[in-house]
A and B are shown apart, each in its own frame.
Chain A
């Protein structure tokens, strides 16, 4: 078991109003699953993604990540989990604009004290995996959208995380490039990685083996795809 959340709620205070983003969500994610979280905007899928990604803590309920109780952790412990166990891929890539592709991929290792030489070789390896060995010294502005997303994927892989969390990874890409990115995820899944996609597009979700549908902060349906 990698992820086990039990009756999770998240309440935001917006001015004087309380917004219930999640109202008692429970789910489990096993090793080497490939699943999609779907739902219209306002359904709470971003909040769920933030909680799963340890960027945010739930207001109530428990979250176990490989048997560690994440819901009780402080900022530094969460940062450590994010660093070691979770690889993020974002819709807007979120690369450092002034850093080269290589340096962007090195970044997660800077925060766990990996020595510089080892960092470089691991980062090169990860970039080779996503087919960018000839673009290592390029900055994000010198790369196409698809290439940028590959750099982001390389970055998410480089610390050998337990899960990869991808938030609308194809949202800023054209269909063809999007398909290429999805192929990479499929390969990663075949190699044994656990991947959670957040998307609102059916055809993207169709690539996965399981779709969790959210509506109004609750799980509406949770089913395997064929």
Chain B
């Protein structure tokens, strides 16, 4: 074995022996580092978990979809101004349907939340969507069995509905829902289709939905509700062109004078992704900030305890030097002690961090996901912290005069 490795190995054994002798003290010393690493690993795992579920659920929106609304998402526009804009109505929908060339489907969408009943079963807070047959295209909603809303359903304002997977599951435990009537308030709707399972979007359960014809919704819940026009474009590559076309149509229909700002907004999935990125960047920054401060404090703690330890073991250092330890042997001994203390703290921190992430993901809708590269980087980083904060005390120990050290009481 190489002499250098013998040195390191012996230093490691000495360090572990020293830690065993002062178990409580070593643990308290590493606490700062434990807390720092726990926080960082916890936050990072949760961000990664969020990423996974975010990108899965955002895909439900469809990257070839546009959402025409009174408000722009995440905009800093004057809210009051936006509130006073003209409502979006069927007039716009009709105009787009007639004039737009780059559009595959257009659907007006209105929504409310209500309790849905079937016999003695009931499900609260179900999202009731009023729309047309085109919603099946724009919303990517596909019946698992039964049929979608049809043109006739919409045109004749039939009391029929297509229900989400969870509504079917909760209300109809034993029987097939097709042909049964569910109650919305005092109105009854015949179930014609059941959607396939879709999961959730930002904690919003997409499977707890009842889709009814647009006209029926307006009759039931009023026609002055804010409406979203969902548009699916023909070619995703030409989505910007499609937007321009829509802007032109909408300005004409809504009689926006040239030079005036649009009194509507065309939203799309990208905007959510952008917003999300900004949010997670902020979270990363928080994790980094908290982690750095805790590691700094922890590192100073390690340095402090090393200085104490060196003072306590001055005589030992003297003995070792007298019988032939070189300065670098003593330097390594304390550097390795520092790295070992830090790394132990780091490892405990990683374990706690993963546990906390696991705990959070099992107790809330947030999910956590472990990133091994991050953990690896973390361990290297902790070792560097140990090295950095160990250098000064170790150097001090290495430079001790053997005679003075031997006579230290």
Contact = CB atoms under 8 A, between A and B. Distances in A.
Interface of A: 50, 53, 55-56, 75-76, 79-80, 82-84, 88, 90, 94-96, 98, 107-108, 110-113, 115, 155, 159
Interface residues of B, number: 24
Contacts of B315: 94
Contact of A110 (B1, B10, B316, B402): B10
Interface stretch (B123-131, B150-158, B318-326): B318-326
A48 to B, nearest CB: 13
B316 A96 contact: yes
29 contacts: A55-B322, A55-B403, A55-B406, A56-B403, A75-B327, A76-B326, A76-B327, A76-B328, A80-B326, A82-B321, A82-B324, A83-B325, A84-B324, A90-B406, A94-B406, A95-B319, A96-B319, A107-B319, A107-B320, A110-B6, A110-B10, A111-B320, A111-B323, A111-B324, A111-B325, A111-B326, A112-B324, A113-B6, A155-B323
8 tightest Cβ-Cβ pairs between the two chains A and B: A83-B324, A113-B3, A111-B324, A79-B326, A108-B323, A94-B319, A76-B326, A82-B324
Nearest to A99: B17
Given A50-B403, A56-B403, A111-B329, A98 B17 contact: yes
Interface string B319-353: 11111111111000000000000000000000000
A53 B318 CA distance: 13
B186 interface: no
Binding site secondary structure of chain B? helix
A83 B403 contact: no
B21 interface: yes
Contacts of A107: 319-320, 323
Nearest to B325: A111
Contacts, number: 61
A98 B21 contact: yes
Of residues B17, B318, B326, B328, which shows the largest number of chain A Cβ atoms within 10 Å of its Cβ? B326
A162 B20 CA distance: 37
Contacts of B322: 53, 55, 82, 88, 94
Nearest to A75: B327
Contacts of A94: 315, 318-319, 322, 406
A115 B326 CA distance: 18
B319 A79 contact: no
Contacts of B316: 96
Contacts of A98: 17, 21
A112 B326 CA distance: 10
Contacts of B325: 79, 83, 111
Interface string B131-156: 00000000000000000000000000
